[in-house]
Amino acid sequence: MPSVSATAPAKIILLGEHAVVYGQPAIALPVSDVRARAAITANPLGKPEEIEIISKRVHLRTFLSDLTPDHALPRLFDRFRLECGIPKLPAMAITISSDIPIAAGMGSGAAVSVALLKALGLFVGVTFSISQLASMAFESEKAYHGNPSGIDNTVIAYESPIFFKRDEPVNFFSILSEFTLVIANSGIPAKTIETVSAVRKRYEENPQVIAALHEQIGKLVEKARQYLEYGALTKLGETCNQNHSLLQELGVSTPLLDELVTAARLAGAYGAKLTGGGGGGNIIALVDENKVSTVEQALLEAGAVQVFSTRIRKISQNV
């Protein structure tokens, strides 16, 4: 019985979340050590479109046809059928698994979508370009987030650091010096859709003030890109700190996230900030390799429920 599988990485936003929804740039990095997986087995006895989906982690065992049309998965499948020109898919069983924390700003939903699309492509024998994968995964992002910028599905599909601007071709850049990111989970689940709509409300009440904050964030992102390209890690850390202050002003941080950020800085991080939608979820700390365990320990003592580190490698784009 044919069986295929594929994976996709987690992601973090280094700088620029929220402002990116309003057209400012943002920088996102893949976290390749933490991944979502989709495995598909054919069901030769089943009828076309008999598609069973199992995800133990979210206690899901269902047939695709039993999900409401506004659910992320039917939306993803509709787009997939259209893209590959197969109106009725053969019967199959899909098992989804993932190590990516849910509702923590690490792109869990987008990673599941990309892994699933890659596996579906293998299953039906259609090869997609990365930009097609990113564009298809955007369908499910809309179901999860309402008005997503598209940054999560893009960085996860490309699995490469990106400088992202909404509705513009994706941009890549070089990273001159390696560094470590310590990622600390506050343990508070965060719904991006809620913080994004809270920012929208503030924007509608006070457009000039909020637009000015977004612009300041956009400028930090431009600077951060240069610091990454020149290997200026101390400067990069400072821009992360400044970005966190602006996110506080946008109202998406919390006392616990602020405490975690402060603990990481006091323990010697170059800089630290919340990452993703905020309201809970993760913070990131930019750390030199010899400070990783000190920063991790400080974050656990300050209340993080989980910490882990990922090394951001040098990358040359020959630009």
Positions annotated as catalytic residues are 152
Residue 55 φ/ψ, nearest 5 degrees: -140, 100
Nearest to 105, CA basis, from 279, 288, 302, 308 = 279
Query: Is residue 71 within 8 Å of residue 29, measured between CB atoms?
Result: no
Residue 139 binds ligand PMV (CB under 6 A): no
Closer residue to ligand PMV, CB minimum distance, 51 or 111:
111
Q: Can you tell me which of 6, 10, 14, 17 binds ligand PMV, judged by CB under 6 A?
A: 17
Residue 20 binds ligand PMV (CB under 6 A): yes
Residue 25 binds ligand PMV (CB under 6 A): no
Q: Quote the CA–CA distance of 83 and 276 in Å, as a whole number.
A: 29
Please state, as a whole number, how many other Cβ atoms lie within 10 Å of the Cβ of residue 173: 18
CB within 8 Å of 207: residues ≥ 6 apart = none
Closer residue to ligand PMV, CB minimum distance, 74 or 105:
105
Q: Provide the angle, in degrees to the nearest 10, between the axes of the packed helices 207-230 and 233-250.
A: 160
Give SS3 for 9: strand
CB within 8 Å of 301: residues ≥ 6 apart = 263
Closer residue to ligand PMV, CB minimum distance, 4 or 285:
285
Q: Quote the CA–CA distance of 314 and 255 in Å, as a whole number.
A: 34
Query: Is residue 279 within 8 Å of residue 254, measured between CB atoms?
Result: yes
Closer residue to ligand PMV, CB minimum distance, 105 or 271:
105
Stretch that binds ligand PMV, among 18-26, 128-136, 176-184, 219-227 (CB under 6 A): 18-26
Q: Give residue number: closest CB to ligand PMV.
A: 276
Binding mask 169-188 for ligand PMV (x = CB under 6 A): --------------------
- And the tokens for 313? 């490698």
Q: Can you tell me which of 139, 152, 238, 296 binds ligand PMV, judged by CB under 6 A?
A: 152
Structural Rg of the chain based on CA atoms: 20
Closer residue to ligand PMV, CB minimum distance, 30 or 105:
105
Q: Residues touching ligand PMV: how many (CB under 6 A)?
A: 16
Q: Can you tell me which of 149, 185, 239, 254 binds ligand PMV, judged by CB under 6 A?
A: 149
Nearest to 306, CA basis, from 3, 34, 91, 17 = 34
Residue 13 binds ligand PMV (CB under 6 A): yes
Q: Can you tell me which of 143, 151, 240, 257 binds ligand PMV, judged by CB under 6 A?
A: 151
Binding mask 81-120 for ligand PMV (x = CB under 6 A): ------------------------x-x-------------
Q: Which residues bind ligand PMV (CB under 6 A)?
A: 13, 17-18, 20-21, 105, 107, 145, 148-149, 151-152, 192, 196, 276-277
